[in-house]
Structure 1
Amino acid sequence: MALVRDRRQINLRLPLPSPSEHRSRFPPPLPPSAPAPTTSAISAADLEKLQVLGHGNGGTVYKVRHKQTSAVYALKVVHGNSDPAVRRQVLREASILRRTDSPHVIKCHGVFDLPGGDIAFCMEYMDMGTLETLLKNGVVFTESLISKLCRQILTGLEYLHSHKIIHRDLKPSNILIDQKMEIKISDFGVSKILQRTLDPCNSYVGTCAYMSPERFDPDSFGSKNYDVYAGDIWSLGLTLLELYVGHFPYLAPGQRPDWATLMCAICFGEPPALPEGTSGEFRSFVECCLQKDSSKRWTATQLLAHPFVSGVDLQSSA
């Protein structure tokens, strides 16, 4: 089992965002046809801020506590004066989170407006942060631990794909984890709900480092009817490699990526492989994920039957 250093708890007794005359009014959070929030009883007034968990992409994430129940949540606040592209991502994420109900997809307990045009998501709180957090803290991911985490990620991906949802930005920083080593797929800002079976999914959204070859160059690596869900499987393979080797597998440790270098490596180079000494089952699993020809890549359902993860008991993953 991985050992993680105790986190230093910071108690930032800051108020929730206050109204601002300088912020433009945030557009309606969801289209009229979207279903109601999972839990409509929670409002900003019910929540007490405990600390800042992170910043980025036009907003801030806070650790908050419900004043009456003492339940702890993560509150993602996106500012009303954010870039229009960020606001579109907010609407997309809100729509997807309200559709999903899986133990391995982050749960949203409500989406509501804040004074000044901000919008907030009240979501599950995962006390260990992300898989990227663990990597930065020096956690060593063994094959055994990776297989347990991987089965949970695959179960979440199978659920999403069965509901015609493509994540499109799967990576260590978008996979949350708690002290029981239970994981939740999060951050659906660039995800897509397919309206038709053959909807294209090769746009340059998400993090290019984890982008599959067919999304860089669909003419060379895709086909007219290629599996649009296969890009998530490629991203999963790179994520597992990164967890095991401790750095992004296409680059040397500490090297900063750039679009041209990554595109050339992913499209023209051979897929990265596990180092010597790893088990045949682990190597086989990663190879099934990192097939440059998307038609040869295994699906989430097929991978759940792979020997690397098929024998994992999720009840004992803690």
Structure 2
Amino acid sequence: MPLVRQRRHLNLRLPEPSVPKPLPLPPSSTAIAPADLEKLQVLGHGNGGTVYKVRHKRTGAVYALKVVHGDTDGASRQEVRREMEILQRTESPHVVEYHGFFEKPSGDVAILMEYMEVGTLETLLKSSGTFSEPQVASVAREVLSGLSYLHAHKIIHRDIKPSNLLVNRKMEVKIGDFGVSKVMCRTLDACNSYVGTCAYMSPERFDPDSYGGNYNGYASDIWSLGLTLFELYVGHFPFLPMGQSPDWPTLMCAICFGDPPTLPQTASQHFRSFISSCLIKDSTQRWTASQLLSHPFLATT
């Protein structure tokens, strides 16, 4: 499968401090204005908005521009603002880069971001087929490095899934779409609201009392990543048979009352152990991003 060129990154093993410091905001001004950009093509639609491939008229630089129009519901526009607030606080090679935010008198809001040429892991899975273990390990290293950075700065993504992990022409995988993310303002903040895609939600998001949901919200990102990596390997969402569409009651029962999915016996022992470490139902026992970066699966593949 012509997917991920194997690249070995220096493992990022950031500590996860009990009281991490938030990142400062950068200057609010931007050197790029809406009039500087020309639209080249539509990249996609969703959540009341459109994502365009755009080019800077003077420099020729190419970006992705996510636009939500003023006549769209307020929740969609608020998600774009939330994404801007998150991205402008981050500076990591494993997170999609932020380049500006625009708001027009008409009510349109737009966020200018790094253009990821290949698309998402979801589109790559559909076009190129399932991932090998080394390819899954390469994705895991990069996403975990991004999550380790975000969690160390009190940011919970809350919607990790194949369609929110983007790939550029260097085959680098970066975390994107922070519309439902949360910045933890205090160490004991809860993060149990029903946001994000329900299929990838962790048990504690459905039932915080039973699965340690008041411990912290960071563990929910690890569960979602485990399901994502599982899906890349087997080719379908792990809680459902191939071709079956998820529905809320079925998913909630499977996630809360069923056993976590396990990889087929053809998978290596290290890979199966890695996925199991992501899919521990008790969030207080689930491995952290920094711990998973030291797992033998990533050291041996």
Q: TM-score, normalised by structure 1?
A: 0.85
- Greater displacement, 135-144 / 63-72: 135-144
Q: Deviations over 1:287-309 (max 9, x none)?
A: 00000011110000100100111
Name the SS of the counterpart of 1:220 in structure 2: coil
- For residue 298 of structure 2, the aligned residue among 309, 312, 318 is 309
Residue of structure 2 equivalent to 1:7: none
How far the C-alpha of 1:140 sits from its partner, in A, is 2.8
CA contact (8 A) 2:205 2:213 kept: no
Give the distance between the partners of 2:284 and 2:103, measured in 1 at CA: 43
The match for 1:213 is 203
- Correspondent of 2:187 among 197, 210, 216: 197
Partner of 1:240: 229
Fraction of identical pairs, as percent: 67
1:3–1:139 contact (8 Å) kept in structure 2 = no
Name the SS for the 1:68 alignment partner.
coil
1:36 deviates by: 3.1
Match of 1:170 among 160, 166, 171: 160
- The separation in 2 between residues aligned to 1:164 and 1:109, in whole angstroms, is 22
Count of aligned pairs between the two proteins: 282
CA contact (8 A) 1:127 1:177 kept: yes
1:24-35 counterparts in 2 under 5 A?
Answer: 35=26
The residue number in structure 2 matching 1:267 is 256
Do 1:77 and 1:120's aligned partners in 2 also have CA atoms closer than 8 Å? yes
The structure that has the greater radius of gyration is 1
Cα offsets for 1:109-131 (capped at 9, x unmatched): 11112352211111100111000
The 2-side partners of 1:83 and 1:254 are apart by 32
Letter in 2 for 1:249: P
Relative to structure 1, is the Cα distance of residues 66 and 311 closer, same or farther in structure 2, using a 3 angstrom cutoff? farther
Find 2:27's aligned residue among 24, 36, 44: 36
State the 1:87 CA deviation. Answer: 2.1
Residues 248-298 of structure 1, C-alpha deviations (whole Å, 9 max, x = no match)? 111111111110000000000000111111111110000000000111100
Matched, 1:71 2:61: yes
The amino acid across from 2:125 in the alignment is: L
Q: 2:2 is matched with which residue? A: 2
| 1:116-171 residue CA offsets vs partner (Å, 9 max, x unmatched) | 22111111001110000111213331000110111000000000000000000000
Q: Choose between structure 1 and 2 for higher RCO, CA contacts under 8 A separated by at least 6 residues.
A: 2
1:158 maps to which residue?
A: 148
1:53 aligned counterpart, secondary structure: strand
Unaligned runs of 5+ residues in structure 1 are 5-32, 313-318
Query: Does 2:275 match 1:283?
Result: no
Normalized against structure 2, the TM-score is what?
0.90
Deviates more, 1:231-240 or 1:87-96: 87-96
Q: Which amino acid in structure 1 is aligned with residue 259 of structure 2?
A: E
Q: In structure 1, what residue type is equivalent to 2:184?
A: L
Residues in 2 aligned to 1:308 and 1:217: alpha-carbon distance in whole angstroms: 30
CA distances 1:198-222 after superposition (whole Å, capped 9, x unpaired): 1111110000100000110011111
Equivalent residue number for residue 227 of structure 1:
216
The 2-side partners of 1:79 and 1:35 are apart by 26
What is aligned with 1:60? 50
Tell me the CA shift for residue 310 of structure 1.
3.3
- Distance, in Å, in 2 between the alignment partners of 1:154 and 1:304 is 7
Q: CA deviation at 1:92?
A: 1.2
Contact 1:2 1:141 (C-alpha < 8 Å) held by counterparts: no
